[in-house]
Amino acid sequence: MLILVGALLASYLVPLALYFYLRSAHKDDKDYKKDCWNLLWNGLMLGFPVFGFSLLCNILFKVSHISDRFPIIEVFFSAFILKAFSEELMKYLLANKTIRKNHANLSFLDLMAFTTISAIGFELMEAVVYMFESNVPQILVRGITNMHAVFGLIMGYIIAKGYKKGNKNPVPLGIFVSTMIHGIYDLCLDEAFDATDWGMLSLLIAFICLIINIVNYIFMNKARKDPYYTDPLFPEENIETIPQEETV
């Protein structure tokens, strides 16, 4: 058991390193650091709303009896809705509270940071659950690949890019893309695909997430010096009103 706990703590190194890196974006801004901490802490609690939402969706699915005629649909529903969509949706809804709070001064990188930190919190919590269901190598691989955080990065990038291009509501696309990648990963690990080569696709996704962790660090280091990524996404909300000259 001590070995598993040691592996769990070691698996936290990459997610927490990313958290502290994202938190360092505004070194002198105490409110930003507080927002990051609150997001991380609340992310740890996301398991409860995720469970509740998944339970509700599962009840509605069972009542529909769709799987009675098409059993394979239940496998897809479990992977894409009960697991992937429920988690990605709740992670975004949590991040959105901080996004709305900082809306006037929110930058491209800030939005990415908030969706990612929300995911990191959930990752840290979920790792504890998986500790009792896996072994040391699997625990370490989960930590190194840091997949939940990568899904948060992808979601945040798509949403922020959409706002930059003038899309008034890029959120559904961001959630959809992260859900699809997440869902495919879970689907290929399902017992229904054990005897196929689909499991290799999950390994490929995990490997790509590992690469994205590295590429993201390089990207953000450069982006922190680029006004495109650091200026407010919604400058019209940050325009100071110019007082009119008094007439004599």
Q: What is the pLDDT of residues 187-243, one digit of tens each?
A: 988 877 655 667 788 889 999 999 999 999 999 999 999 999 999 998 877 654 334
- Report the distance separating Cα 200 and Cα 148, nearest Å: 19
**Is 91 in contact with 119 (CB distance < 8 Å)?**
yes
What lies within 8 Å, CB to CB, of 199 at 6+ separation is 188, 189, 193
At 85 the pLDDT is 97
Residue in the structure block whose two tokens are 């959809």 = 176
pTM: 0.90
At residue 194, the pLDDT reads 58
Distance CA 171, CA 148 (A): 17
pLDDT, tens only, 2-36 = 888 898 889 899 999 999 999 999 988 999 999 99
> Over pLDDT 70: what percentage of the chain?
93
Q: What is the DSSP letter of 107?
A: B
- Tracing tokens 């840091």 back to the chain, one arrives at 146
Residue 71 has pLDDT above 90, yes or no: no
Confidence of residue 244 (pLDDT cuts 50, 70, 90): very low
In this predicted structure, what is the pLDDT of residue 69? 81
Quick one: tokens of 124? 């840290």
What is the distance, to the nearest Å, from the Cα of residue 13 to the centroid of all Cα atoms in its chain?
A: 17
Q: What is the pLDDT of residue 138?
A: 85
pLDDT of residue 115 exceeding 70: yes
Q: Which residue has the higher pLDDT, 193 or 171?
A: 171
Instruction: State the CB neighbour count (10 A cutoff) for residue 194.
Output: 10
Local structure of residue 79 (DSSP, 8 states): I
CA-CA distance, 214 to 83, in Å (whole number)? 26
Q: Which residue has the tokens 């894409």?
A: 80
Q: Note whether 234 and 104 are within 8 A (CB).
A: yes
Nearest 5°: CA angle at 142, between 141 and 148?
Answer: 145
